[in-house]
Amino acid sequence: MKISVELGDSAAAAKADVEMQIRGLMIDPLTNMPIVILKDVGSDTVLPIWVGIFEANAIQEELEKIARPRPMTHDLLRNTVRGLNAVVRKVVVSELRDDTFFAVVWMEQGGETVAIDSRPSDAIALALRSDCPIYASRAVLENAKQVAEGPPNANTDEMRRWLENLNDDDLGRYKM
C-alpha cells in the first residue's frame, strides 16, 4: 500500500520514533528461527524481531557485504527505487499488532514523501542497501516490552532475561 503524506506529517511522526541500529542477527535457541536484534542508539533497549530465513539471509549478506553475481530481491528493490529517481529516507518499525510487527519505508521522489507498507525484515534489508536509518516507534518499543513482560510464563521470562543479557560472545555463539 502506498500512502502520500505532507512533509509536516512525517516530521511530527519522527518525534515518536527512536533510532535503532542492528545489534545482531542470530538464531533463537528456543525456536531455531532467525532474530534481528535492533538496539536503541541512545539506550540499552533492544527490540527482537523474528524473521524468515530468506530475509535473515538477505540482511546477513548485506551486513557482511557479500556480493552476488546477480541482484537478489532486495537488490532489485533498491535498484528499482534508484531507477525511479527516488531515495529511501528511513524505515520505521511502526506497529506491533497481534504479535506481528509492521514497518513503513519512507521514500522521497520529486519532492513528494511517500510511505510504503512493508514487513520489517524487508524494510531492514532495504535500509541496509540504501544506507538509511532504521527507527522504531516508541509505541512499538513499549508494546514489545509489555508483551515480553506479559503474563508470567517460564519461557517468556527466560527469553526476556536472555535478550536483556546478550553480550558479544552470545551474539557470536548464536550467529546465523
Superfamily of domain 2-173: Bifunctional nuclease domain (3.10.690.10)
SS (H, E, C) 33-84: CEEEEEEECCCCCEEEEECCHHHHHHHHHHHCCCCCCCCCHHHHHHHHHHHC
CA distance 176 to 160: 20
Give the whole-angstrom CA distance, residue 97 versus residue 146.
Answer: 12
Question: Which pLDDT tens digit goes with each residue over 33-79?
Answer: 999 999 999 998 999 999 999 999 999 999 999 999 999 999 999 99
The pLDDT of residue 82 is above 50: yes
Specify the higher pLDDT residue, 121 or 153.
121
Q: Is the pLDDT of residue 119 over 80?
A: yes
CA distance 14 to 104: 12
pLDDT in tens, 125-156: 999 999 999 999 999 999 887 665 544 454 65
For the chain, the structural domain boundaries read 2-173
What pLDDT, on a 0 to 100 scale, did the predictor assign at position 25?
Answer: 93
How far is Cα of residue 43 from the mean position of the Cα atoms in its chain? 17
Cα gap 126→75, rounded to integer Å: 8
**Predicted confidence band at 174 (pLDDT cuts at 50, 70, 90)?**
very low
